[in-house]
Structure 1
Amino acid sequence: MDKEKTLAAFAALSQASRLDAFRLLVQAGPKGMAAGEISDALGVKQNTMSANLSVLFQAGLVRNLREGRSIRYFADMEGLRGLLTFLMEDCCGGEPDLCRPVLDSIACEC
C-alpha cells in the first residue's frame, strides 16, 4: 500500500458508522455479512449503509459478492494487511524485538 491508498483508508475509517461496519465485518470473518444485516446490526438506514460500504470498498478495506438481489460484504484482510504493513514497514529503527508487543497484540488468537 502506498501513501495515497493509506490516506484513503484512514479517511474511510474516520466516520463512526464506517468504522463500526468495518469492525463488524472483521468480527464476522470469512462468512461476511449481507448489507441489510450490517445496517440492522448497527441501526443505520440501508441506503446510508450502502453508501458507507461503497466508501470502504473504494478504500480497499472491504470486498463484496453479489448473492441474487443481495450483496454480501467481507473485510478485505489483504487491504488491512497492506495498511498495517505501510504503517510499520520501518518499525523500530531496525530492532524488530521492539515491534513484537504491537504485533502480538493484533495477532488473531482464533
Structure 2
Amino acid sequence: MKKTDLERALDEALPDEKILSDVKRLLEYNAENGVTEIELNEKWVPIPIDVPIDIVSKAFLKEYYEGVGFGAYRVLVAIGGFKKDRYGFHEAGYCFATLYYNDQGDNFTEDYHVKFR
C-alpha cells in the first residue's frame, strides 16, 4: 500500500472539513461577542472565534489493548494559523489544540497548549 492510499483512507475516515467544523464548534461553545477564552498555562486567553485554523497533522493510532489508548485518531491544529519562524520553530497565532477522536470519528476531548508537540 502506498502512502497516498493511506492518506486517502485517513481523509475519508476523518475529513478535514469535519475537523475544522469541530474546532469552530469548540471555539463558539462559550463565546461571547465573537470571543472565547481558552486556558493556557493557567491563564485565560481571549481568542476571536473567526481566527484562521490550520490542520498541522492528522494520525490514525493502532491500539493493541482496548481501553489503554486515547482514541483512534489524533489531530493537531494551529488556532490563529500555523507559523514557522526562520529558525524552524513552529508557532500558532494563539495556540495549538490536539483533538482526540474515537473510532467512529467523534471528537471526545481536546487539549490546548502553547508549544508545538
Do these two structures clear the TM 0.5 threshold for a shared fold by scoring above it? no
TM-score by length of 2: 0.24
TM-score by length of 1: 0.25
Structure with higher strand content: 2
